Structure 1
Amino acid sequence: MSTATSSAQSLGFQEAMQKFGRFLSGMVLPNIGAFIAWGFLTALFIPTGWLPNEYLAQVGGPMSKWLIPLLLGYSGGAAVYKHRGGVVGTIATAGVIAGADIPMFLGAMIMGPLAGYLMKKFDAAIEDKIPTGFEMLVNNFSAGILGGVLAVLAFVGVGPVVLAANGVLRSGVEGIVAAGLLPLASVIIEPAKILFLNNAINHGVLSPLGIQQAEEFGKSMFFLLEANPGPGLGVLLAYWFFGKGMAKDSTPGAMIIHLLGGIHEIYFPYVLMKPVLLIAVIAGGMAGVATLQLLGGGLIAPSSPGSIIAVLAMTPKGAFIANMADFLVATVVSCAVASVFIKVSATEESGESLEEAKAAMQERKQRGQVAVSAVRISGSELTNIVYACDAGMGSSALGAASLRKKLRNAGYTHISVTNAAIGNIPKDAQIVVTHEKLAQRAMEDSPQAEHILVRNFTQNDVFEQIIARLSENKMDGVMAAGQSGSREKHVLDLTNIQLGLKSVSKEEAITAAGKALVKAGFVDEGYIEGMLKREADISTYVGKGIAIPHGEAAVKDTIRQSGIVVLQYPEGIKFGNDTAHILVGIAGKDNDHLSILANIAATMDECSDDELEKLYNTKDANVLYERFALAN
């Protein structure tokens, strides 16, 4: 197997794990309030709690057995098929709960999404086949029948399997504990967190085991194995002490978010920037667990989120010293190990390297600028911007807060910037900012809005795009009056359209587009190399048989003026698993490339399949001219 093939397979695995992890986060994060309520009541009223009360302690039991699994099941089903999927997911989850005597968090994470998926497939199969007037009847009965069938299957099938798996895990963990090897769990837990599997591990495996142990002993170490903020804080401290550039400057804010906010994802890119730092977080995790085991610490209930505040809130009487020692030892060891690697590194940290790592954290393939954006903001005043992600918390909340602050500092106090989960985007949202990999879902949920697609929620150029568009809108009246400013009337000329080209490799086609841009006087020769580097970094294929190759930021100075060229390949050019029939080579002076990209994307989105087929095969350059000249 070649190195390239091996790297590709590794990348694919990491992407799949990150996608899986984000989906799990979408189930867990919206329900953190329920975890907190349960943990709060448990910490107060159980026999070993701060205010022991046998009567009030009864409230917590149904929450862990029924409430939280049902919420997880609903969220999982809704993530797949909105409210209808959530309802069926809840019904199916009830079956898996009824057949178990332990909290079925993992069972809910299985049944919720599965039920939503099956409901979606069933509805697609009978679409347009329901007699008029019977839609509500069929919809209600199909949801009820499918939910009931899945509840029975969960009760007799999935529940026993999860119980058996839980028994195996519990026996294995008890064996590890008995052998004094529990610290080795960090070898699995810490790297898995970086792959966004923290919720799967913490709430799917460790929490159920911890609940069983806490019922017997009044506390459990399992609640702290993943939630301990020490290893992550140690890495951030090491960057603060010995890092350089943006990696150093950004750590104070990251530490506050991580330690007090409990958003562990904030430190993941710092580890990905130097994968060797996995050794640091593993060492910190192992040292902390060993300390916890030695001093007999633990929590009464899960720490959700994993902040030091939540950890202390869930600490039972007599375990404060042990739990704080666990946190401090993990922090010190992680920081010490990370400091060694950061100090001896010959590569200076820069804003760009951190940016690349943050892109890898969100999804390893996310390398590049805004893939496609459409921010026209014309015709009405901009008042409502929404950041949207899977769960509507965490990263999107940070992004919204950052943009809101920038806009207020710039004097745009009337613009509202909020965050929401995809599926709950307000209908009055004018602009939706979301991750490029979530674009389709976001656009389906808010077709009325313009969409900005980013690779990272907190480190991006969204603010600059918004300001540029707001400034452009102020010039609309002048432009309409015929004063074109620095722009030409059109960025496309008939002479820059090439038809019926023979299929070649992707690199050859991009080079041909670059040469056409050079010939048209839009760019210098050096721009071509920037186009090829951009493509190597992230595919410029945007769907519907269209690719929009353009140069990376490093070759901006080779652009003479804004313009585009259109190359038609009837037999297609392979862009990975996709085929492009139209290549639109783009050169954008200053920020013009953003509006060109936006306009092309918006225009192509309006094309029907027949219109696209015509564009792919026409022998009349005017057909392509009318489509792409009108787009800009």
Structure 2
Amino acid sequence: MTTKTEAKRGFSPRVALQKVGTSLSNMVMPNIPALIAWGILTAFFIEDGWTPNAPLESAVGPMIHYLLPLLIANTGGRMIYEARGAVVGVIATMGVIAGSDWLIAQDNAAALEEWLASGKAEADFAALPEVHMFIGAMIMAPLAAWIMKKLDRLWQDHIPAGFEMLVNMFSAGIFGFIMLAAGFFGLAPLVNALMTLLANGVAALINAHLLPLVSILIEPAKVFFLNNAINHGVLTPLGIADAATNGKSVLFLLESNPGPGVGILLAYTIFGRGAARASAPGAAIIQFFGGIHEIYFPYVLMKPILILAAVGGGMSGVFVNVLFNTGLKAPASPGSILAIYGVAARDSYLGITLAVLAAAGVSFLLSTLFLKIGKQDDGDIAAATAKMEEMKGKKSSVAGALTGAGAGAGAAAAADGSGHTGRIDKIVFACDAGMGSSAMGATVLRKKVRAAGFADVEVTNKAISSLNDEWDVVVTQKELTDRARQRTGSAVHVSVDQFMNSPRYDEVVELVHERNDPQAETDSEPVAGATAATVGAGAAGAAGAGAGGGHGRRAAEKTAPQHESAGAAGASEAPDSSDAAAASDTSAASPEILSPGSIVLTGTATDSASGIDEAGALLVGAGAVDQGYVDAMHAREATVSTFMGNGLAIPHGTNDAKSTIKRSAMSFVRYPDGIEWNGNPTKFVIGIAGVGNEHLELLQKVAMTFSDPAQVERLEQATSAEEILAIFGDEKE
């Protein structure tokens, strides 16, 4: 069974909807603080707020109409194409906002003219309200960023040297204008019509007293992790529009009410059995006060009929909220009772309290009934948590910690505390700067993944600072794992103590086999705790690899597409155009990057400090760096070791030292008797300084050379600088 077949077989509308919901959530959730700030502004300072203040009230309209959608656009564009995507996404979204306003103005003008023609007073005319472009931002910004990314890849290899900034700046500006116009005339009418349709549908449900029926959809969707598409895709935009007009919205309470979950957990606390009963009280506290609703999902999955209890509780809560005309000023995230009270409208506290009590009471009674009349075993909460995580596609650290479940697909994921339990499609090797050591590690790992038959698994390298939570596996040096985990909490994290022949690479390949093609026969023995990540001491560093200079992005992200394909030429399949171009350009530049004059076959250093001085002096002598860069190499080593494994160290400067780099260069020093490098025996020291990507092709060849013991032996036996260059040049990845 191939991975493509497995992927095809594994597709389902539920998974697709989960992915859409996750994308929407990833755009909205980082901006929830801004929504809460807007809610506080309206709660206190509008005309009927707690402390009316006309000057501050003037910020309410611009904030909801411009700032919040543009923040979402910025986040959506950045998810696709980092800073460049964010800028283009915001420009394009501004076109959708302006187009919507223009359409509303035209409709209002025509309606007013008709109103006056009928003899009615202008003062009695009710104009159509503005449409706030949250949905427009969620559609337009990622689309514009994605197209910009594809366009950049078309022409990135055809830009004359020295014109990169000019081309990148003008291409983004021109394309941003085009997408602004497309949004103005194309998307704005569609979103206006969609928002009108959805708003009319909700109004019809409210007028017909049928709004509680939405719980039939929302409560099961929560358990199966489909709620993000409903909540962030529909309810949040509609709720914000409703709150902007009426000062509050009941739509914010449809999904966030903690009552249904608390009722189920209380029933387990009293009438449950075994581990489920023992863990339910703690889960109830976390769910009610912490707002982590997913913690009660495994209890429902142990006895699926309890979904009816959740639906009954949800309907009761909505009914009471509608009855008391309650509402929130802004979304309550997370769905904690504290967060709900924090953004509640001033006239809604009593109604909200009664709604939560009603929801909890009804779900408790129904859950008690179902637990009593049905067969109940001791409750395998761990298995239920695993089932929940399988549906979610991520490990639940809260549920797993509470229940003691090592849930999820594969013990490896649990071993390193990761939150990922699904397929492995994207692997990133991350370091401090994302261009040197990470490129080398990614080259070695990519070759292993390709050799295992997983050509469709992306293996790339990036700087830790540019990571977001989209990666399935993140490989880092041990000292950097905590930093990477902060940015990619749901990924499998693998720590390595060397970059050349780490056994962790084989474990990653084994994990890919397990997740993507579990029925396939593999040559390697299964490794217990395959990705348990924390491995011995050692190498860190190379974290920064590219050595200072080129590790920031070039103007207008010229290097971003190259980042993603760095080292792809090392794969067994044919390289794509960007890789081919990089290989061509670098091959021509290699003699300059590592010249015979920068190669020493018998070094005089005795430890890492003198080794850095010796390698750095060669870079200075080659006219590539100033002496300040050598000082930065020492500063880097004091923070994170640059020992790579297999007797190799690659010292380089910090990112702050880029101003001291004149051009990309490398130096090579061999120590036949070896030297001590932070406790590691080292025979080869390669100093690097990178302005851009020019050194990456040779650096990848270095990685492949040092991953092959036979090639390392050739380096040990070489008698001339030319022979050293030939070994690196002959290495075919």
Normalised by the shorter chain, which TM-score bucket? 0.5 to 0.7
Q: Structure 1 residues 76 and 256 mapped into 2: Cα distance closer, same or farther (>3 Å)?
A: farther
Query: In the aligned structure 2, how far is the partner of 1:542 from the partner of 1:451?
Result: 21
Percent identical: 42
Pair 1:584 & 2:523 matched: yes
Query: In the aligned structure 2, how far is the partner of 1:424 from the partner of 1:293?
Result: 52
Query: In the aligned structure 2, how far is the partner of 1:338 from the partner of 1:451?
Result: 41
Query: In the aligned structure 2, how far is the partner of 1:595 from the partner of 1:219?
Result: 48
Matches within 5 A, 1:446-595: 542=511, 547=513, 575=517, 583-586=522-525, 591=528
Query: In the aligned structure 2, how far is the partner of 1:364 from the partner of 1:461?
Result: 10
Match of 2:359 among 319, 330, 335: 330
Pair 1:98 & 2:98 matched: yes
Provide the secondary structure at the position in 1 that maps to 2:12: helix
Q: Structure 1 residues 158 and 342 mapped into 2: Cα distance closer, same or farther (>3 Å)?
A: farther
Deviation at 1:286, TM superposition (A): 0.8
Query: In the aligned structure 1, how far is the partner of 2:15 from the partner of 2:361?
Result: 31
Q: Which residue of 1 aligns with 2:385?
A: 355
Pair 1:126 & 2:65 matched: no
Pair 1:45 & 2:75 matched: no
Query: In the aligned structure 2, how far is the partner of 1:210 from the partner of 1:611?
Result: 50
Provide the secondary structure at the position in 1 that maps to 2:59: helix
Matches within 5 A, 1:132-151: 132-151=161-180
- The aligned amino acid for 2:48 is T
| Paired residues, number | 456
Given that residues 548 and 586 in structure 1 are in contact (C-alpha distance below 8 angstroms), is that contact kept between their aligned partners in structure 2?
Answer: no
Given that residues 42 and 60 in structure 2 are in contact (C-alpha distance below 8 angstroms), is that contact kept between their aligned partners in structure 1?
Answer: yes
Q: Which residue of 1 aligns with 2:471?
A: 438
C-alpha deviations, 1:22-71, integer Å up to 9, x for none? 22221112111101101111111122222122332222222211111111
Q: Structure 1 residues 374 and 216 mapped into 2: Cα distance closer, same or farther (>3 Å)?
A: closer
Given that residues 42 and 329 in structure 2 are in contact (C-alpha distance below 8 angstroms), is that contact kept between their aligned partners in structure 1?
Answer: yes
C-alpha deviations, 1:519-542, integer Å up to 9, x for none? xxxxxxxxxxxxxxxxxxxx9865
Q: Which residue of 1 aligns with 2:193?
A: 164
Deviation at 1:300, TM superposition (A): 3.0
Pair 1:368 & 2:409 matched: yes
Given that residues 370 and 453 in structure 1 are in contact (C-alpha distance below 8 angstroms), is that contact kept between their aligned partners in structure 2?
Answer: no
C-alpha deviations, 1:123-172, integer Å up to 9, x for none? 22223222111111121112112222112111212121111111111212
Query: In the aligned structure 2, how far is the partner of 1:151 from the partner of 1:460?
Result: 35
Given that residues 541 and 575 in structure 1 are in contact (C-alpha distance below 8 angstroms), is that contact kept between their aligned partners in structure 2?
Answer: no
- The aligned amino acid for 1:313 is G
Q: Which residue of 2 aligns with 1:346?
A: 376
- The aligned amino acid for 1:363 is G
- The aligned amino acid for 2:471 is L
Pair 1:287 & 2:249 matched: no
Deviation at 1:338, TM superposition (A): 2.7
Query: In the aligned structure 2, how far is the partner of 1:425 from the partner of 1:328?
Result: 49
Query: In the aligned structure 2, how far is the partner of 1:202 from the partner of 1:168?
Result: 17
Provide the secondary structure at the position in 2 that maps to 1:160: helix
Q: Which has the larger radius of gyration?
A: 2
Query: In the aligned structure 2, how far is the partner of 1:627 from the partner of 1:372?
Result: 29
C-alpha deviations, 1:241-287, integer Å up to 9, x for none? 33344434444443333323333333344434443332222111111
Given that residues 221 and 227 in structure 2 are in contact (C-alpha distance below 8 angstroms), is that contact kept between their aligned partners in structure 1?
Answer: yes
Q: Which residue of 2 aligns with 1:276?
A: 305
Query: In the aligned structure 1, how far is the partner of 2:359 from the partner of 2:415?
Result: 45
Deviation at 1:190, TM superposition (A): 2.2
Provide the secondary structure at the position in 1 that maps to 2:48: coil
Deviation at 1:108, TM superposition (A): 1.0
C-alpha deviations, 1:278-308, integer Å up to 9, x for none? 2222111111111112222222333333221
Farther off after superposition, 105-114 or 196-205:
196-205
C-alpha deviations, 1:333-391, integer Å up to 9, x for none? 1222233334424343224313313322422899422457998xxxxxxxxx99899xx
Pair 1:221 & 2:250 matched: yes
Q: Which residue of 2 aligns with 1:19?
A: 19
Can you give the 5+ residue segments of structure 1 that lack an aligned partner in the other structure?
376-384, 390-422, 477-489, 491-538, 550-573, 600-604, 613-625
Given that residues 80 and 116 in structure 1 are in contact (C-alpha distance below 8 angstroms), is that contact kept between their aligned partners in structure 2?
Answer: yes
Q: Structure 1 residues 287 and 155 mapped into 2: Cα distance closer, same or farther (>3 Å)?
A: same
Kindly report the root-mean-square deviation, in angstroms, between the aligned alpha carbons of the 2 structures.
Answer: 4.8
Pair 1:300 & 2:262 matched: no
Given that residues 243 and 342 in structure 1 are in contact (C-alpha distance below 8 angstroms), is that contact kept between their aligned partners in structure 2?
Answer: yes
Q: Structure 1 residues 593 and 131 mapped into 2: Cα distance closer, same or farther (>3 Å)?
A: closer
Q: Which residue of 2 aligns with 1:84?
A: 84
Q: Which residue of 2 aligns with 1:254?
A: 283
Given that residues 190 and 285 in structure 1 are in contact (C-alpha distance below 8 angstroms), is that contact kept between their aligned partners in structure 2?
Answer: yes
Deviation at 1:81, TM superposition (A): 1.6
Given that residues 272 and 361 in structure 1 are in contact (C-alpha distance below 8 angstroms), is that contact kept between their aligned partners in structure 2?
Answer: no
C-alpha deviations, 1:428-460, integer Å up to 9, x for none? 99xx9x99x8325x45x9999569999xx9999
Given that residues 372 and 598 in structure 1 are in contact (C-alpha distance below 8 angstroms), is that contact kept between their aligned partners in structure 2?
Answer: no
Given that residues 413 and 419 in structure 2 are in contact (C-alpha distance below 8 angstroms), is that contact kept between their aligned partners in structure 1?
Answer: no
Query: In the aligned structure 2, how far is the partner of 1:11 from the partner of 1:43?
Result: 45
Query: In the aligned structure 1, how far is the partner of 2:237 from the partner of 2:477?
Result: 37
Query: In the aligned structure 2, how far is the partner of 1:28 from the partner of 1:446?
Result: 32
Query: In the aligned structure 1, how far is the partner of 2:413 from the partner of 2:328?
Result: 46
- The aligned amino acid for 1:359 is E
Pair 1:235 & 2:268 matched: no
Provide the secondary structure at the position in 2 that maps to 1:284: helix
Given that residues 99 and 156 in structure 1 are in contact (C-alpha distance below 8 angstroms), is that contact kept between their aligned partners in structure 2?
Answer: yes
Query: In the aligned structure 1, how far is the partner of 2:183 from the partner of 2:477?
Result: 34
Query: In the aligned structure 1, how far is the partner of 2:16 from the partner of 2:156?
Result: 31
- The aligned amino acid for 2:472 is A
Given that residues 215 and 314 in structure 2 are in contact (C-alpha distance below 8 angstroms), is that contact kept between their aligned partners in structure 1?
Answer: yes
Q: Structure 1 residues 36 and 350 mapped into 2: Cα distance closer, same or farther (>3 Å)?
A: same
Matches within 5 A, 1:203-214: 203-214=232-243
Q: Structure 1 residues 263 and 57 mapped into 2: Cα distance closer, same or farther (>3 Å)?
A: farther
Provide the secondary structure at the position in 1 that maps to 2:256: coil
Q: Which residue of 1 aligns with 2:692?
A: none
Query: In the aligned structure 2, how far is the partner of 1:542 from the partner of 1:124?
Result: 31
Query: In the aligned structure 1, how far is the partner of 2:572 from the partner of 2:188?
Result: 50
Query: In the aligned structure 2, how far is the partner of 1:22 from the partner of 1:120?
Result: 21
Deviation at 1:110, TM superposition (A): 0.8
Q: Which residue of 1 aligns with 2:345?
A: 316
Given that residues 85 and 115 in structure 1 are in contact (C-alpha distance below 8 angstroms), is that contact kept between their aligned partners in structure 2?
Answer: yes
Q: Which residue of 2 aligns with 1:32?
A: 32
Provide the secondary structure at the position in 2 that maps to 1:584: coil
Q: Structure 1 residues 451 and 298 mapped into 2: Cα distance closer, same or farther (>3 Å)?
A: closer
- The aligned amino acid for 2:148 is M
Q: Which residue of 2 aligns with 1:188?
A: 217
Provide the secondary structure at the position in 1 that maps to 2:525: strand
Q: Structure 1 residues 28 and 52 mapped into 2: Cα distance closer, same or farther (>3 Å)?
A: same
Query: In the aligned structure 1, how far is the partner of 2:247 from the partner of 2:214?
Result: 22
Deviation at 1:197, TM superposition (A): 4.3
Can you give the 5+ residue segments of structure 2 that lack an aligned partner in the other structure?
101-129, 396-406, 422-459, 537-566, 575-706, 710-733
Deviation at 1:183, TM superposition (A): 0.8
Farther off after superposition, 249-258 or 115-124:
249-258
Given that residues 394 and 490 in structure 2 are in contact (C-alpha distance below 8 angstroms), is that contact kept between their aligned partners in structure 1?
Answer: no
Q: Structure 1 residues 347 and 31 mapped into 2: Cα distance closer, same or farther (>3 Å)?
A: same
Provide the secondary structure at the position in 1 that maps to 2:522: strand
Query: In the aligned structure 2, how far is the partner of 1:10 from the partner of 1:174?
Result: 38
Q: Which residue of 2 aligns with 1:64?
A: 64
Provide the secondary structure at the position in 2 that maps to 1:70: helix
Q: Which residue of 2 aligns with 1:503?
A: none
- The aligned amino acid for 1:327 is V
